């Protein structure tokens, strides 16, 4: 009986750590999706001082004030990993070990509706996915006891109003409703006394549906100083989402008498309720756009994302079956620098180019198979066509992550050391009509 009690306490701690591990997957620039319109994406997201299509509701709601025609836009951003590898280091998993993530292939969508109210007021409704993506490793990955699958989805519904205060100044404001889901899978190990080896004795899965929600707001200002110069300021507030989820343990058979001991000791088939919160960060953007010729415009944007609000994470088991826990994260605010250029090659047609540098907010101690984030540089190209009845914007981004090495941990945290390398390709398409 004493042995069984000991195992149960150990199992409770393992479950707790597994649940704690899911929330950081939502954080870091690697799980922020800034590409919410392909016109802006073609200029590396440098769009705060233009905001002249329906995606203004995401980039700068002040631009909505200057849109006086009914407009609809729908699109997606296809995100595919080109390289995502890990090279181990001592003490664990050890030098010489390497592994690959499963290929990431996601299609976060976006949709917008613009409806003028009168000559100075415009209504808009945006639906987009500003956070998301997935990290998934092969089943035999040595870090499977940290994370095998971590997935987060965040869907924003964002009604806006734009007010053209003067012929040159537009203000915008909106309400953001965020609906989010999270999923985690990881393995649990145990020492098999019959084979004197470490075995996979169980898998842990956590699910939380899209009924988890939080609310915030966005503000925007666009000032068109003259035909050659404009500047914009945009703010999207922090949003806290409270998650109610379920966790469940499933036994992995070893084919030895150890299975009976594990089955007796661990609560397989039992659903554990769990609660936690994620503080999604606020974002402040400043953009300056200048026409350098009659057909060419360049824009520089600077974004600050307030990740420092993510200092720690608390996991609560309301039924008291498992102990609550708080772990440190200590993220930093991060800066993002975007430079874009657009060239009107002929009436109704544009070529666009851009480069972006994103700082990671993630400290080295938090880097793990769950989210191996790093600084990254992206290069973009885009094309736009605008006709009488519809428009089409296409964009592509090649994203290069700096190598990220972890060789230190927070006190009491287990070591999983090594270097992560990543590259990704993003392709965007937006149809307006």
Cα separation of 282 and 378, whole Å?
22
Closest CA to 150 of 248, 267, 19, 238: 19
Q: How far is CA 14 from CA 17, 29, 251, in A?
A: 5, 28, 14
Q: What is the C-alpha to C-alpha distance for residues 188 and 318, in angstroms, rounded to an integer? A: 23
If you average pLDDT over every residue of the chain, what do you get? 89
Q: Which of 159, 32, 47 is nearest to 384 (CA)?
A: 47
| pLDDT reading at 261 higher than 50 | yes
Q: Using an 8 Å Cβ cutoff, are 355 and 44 in contact? A: yes
- Give pLDDT, residue 322: 63
CB 162 within 8 A of CB 172: yes
Over the stretch 73-95, which tens digit does the pLDDT of each residue have?
999 999 999 999 999 999 999 99
Q: What 3-state class would DSSP assign to 15?
A: helix
110: Cβ contacts below 8 Å, ≥ 6 apart: 36, 37, 55, 58, 73, 74, 75, 76, 77, 126, 127, 128, 129, 430
Name the more confident of 70 and 318: 70
**DSSP letter string, 35-81:** ---HHHHTTTT--TTT--STTHHHH-GGGGGG--S-EEEEEEEEEEE
pLDDT in tens, 279-311: 899 999 999 999 999 999 999 999 999 989 887
Angle at which helices 258-265 and 2-20 pack, to 10 degrees? Answer: 70
pLDDT of residue 328: 73
Note the pLDDT tens digit of each residue in 357-381. Answer: 999 999 999 898 988 999 999 999 9
pLDDT in tens, 332-343: 999 999 999 999
Q: 41 CB contacts (<8 Å, ≥6 apart)? A: 35, 77, 380, 382, 395, 397, 426, 428
Domain of 77 in residue numbering reads as 2-432
Structure confidence at residue 170 (pLDDT): 98
pLDDT at 210: 65
CA-wise closest residue to 36 among 81, 82, 74: 74
In this predicted structure, what is the pLDDT of residue 196? 92
CATH code, 95 = 2.40.160.60
Q: Which of 326, 281, 325 is nearest to 303 (CA)?
A: 281
pTM across the whole model: 0.89
pLDDT value at position 232? 98
List pLDDT tens digits, range 238-260: 999 988 888 888 999 999 999 99
pLDDT at 29 over 50: yes
Q: What are phi and psi of 53, to 5 degrees?
A: -140, 175
Give CA–CA dist 171/159, Å, rounded: 14
Whole-number percent of the chain with pLDDT over 70: 91
In 3D space, the residue among 140, 138, 154 whose CA is nearest the CA of residue 103 turns out to be: 138
What is Dmax (Cα atoms) for the chain? Answer: 83
User: Residue holding tokens 């600084």?
Assistant: 375
- Number of structural domains in the chain: 1
17 φ, ψ to 5°?
Answer: -65, -40
The predicted structure's pLDDT at residue 8: 41
Comparing 49 with 312, the larger pLDDT belongs to: 49
Which pLDDT score is estimated for 376?
A: 95
């Amino acid at each position: 009986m004493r042995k069984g009690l000991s195992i149960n306490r150990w199992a409770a701690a393992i479950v707790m750590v597994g649940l704690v591990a899911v929330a950081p997957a939502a954080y870091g620039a690697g799980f922020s999706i800034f590409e919410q319109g392909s016109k802006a994406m073609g200029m590396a997201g440098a769009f705060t001082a233009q905001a002249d299509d329906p995606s203004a509701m995401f980039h700068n709601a002040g631009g909505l004030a200057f849109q006086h025609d009914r407009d609809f836009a729908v699109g997606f951003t296809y995100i595919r990993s080109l390289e995502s590898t890990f090279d181990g280091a001592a003490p664990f998993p050890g030098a010489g070990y390497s592994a690959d993530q499963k290929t990431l292939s996601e299609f976060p969508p976006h949709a917008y509706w613009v409806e003028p109210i009168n000559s100075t007021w415009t209504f808009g409704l945006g639906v987009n996915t500003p956070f998301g993506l997935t990290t998934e490793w092969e089943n035999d990955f040595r870090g499977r006891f940290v994370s095998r699958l971590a997935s987060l989805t965040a869907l924003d519904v964002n009604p806006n109003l734009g007010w053209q205060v003067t012929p040159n100044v537009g203000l915008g404001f909106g309400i953001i409703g965020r609906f989010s889901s999270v999923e985690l899978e990881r393995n649990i190990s145990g020492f098999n006394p019959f084979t004197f080896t470490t075995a996979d004795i169980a898998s842990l899965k956590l699910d939380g549906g899209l009924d988890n929600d939080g609310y915030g707001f966005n503000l925007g200002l666009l000032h068109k100083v003259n035909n050659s110069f404009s500047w914009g300021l945009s703010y999207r507030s922090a949003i806290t989402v409270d998650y109610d989820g379920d966790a469940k343990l499933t036994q992995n058979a070893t084919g030895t008498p150890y299975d009976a001991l594990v089955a007796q000791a661990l609560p397989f088939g039992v659903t554990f309720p769990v609660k936690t919160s994620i503080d999604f960060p606020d974002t402040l953007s400043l953009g300056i756009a200048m026409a350098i010729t009659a057909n060419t415009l360049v824009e520089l944007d600077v974004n600050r994302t307030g990740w420092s609000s993510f200092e720690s994470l608390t996991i609560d088991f309301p039924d008291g079956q498992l102990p609550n826990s708080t772990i440190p994260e200590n993220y930093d605010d991060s800066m993002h620098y975007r430079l874009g250029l657009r060239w009107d090659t002929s009436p109704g047609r544009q070529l666009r180019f851009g480069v972006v540098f994103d700082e990671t907010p993630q400290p080295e101690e938090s880097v793990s198979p769950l989210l191996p984030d790093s600084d990254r540089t992206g290069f973009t190209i885009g094309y736009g066509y605008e006709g009488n009845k519809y428009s089409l914007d296409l964009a592509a981004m090649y994203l290069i992550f700096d190598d990220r090495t972890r060789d230190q941990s927070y006190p009491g945290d287990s070591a999983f050391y090594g270097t992560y390398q990543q590259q990704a390709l993003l392709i965007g398409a937006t149809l307006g009509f």
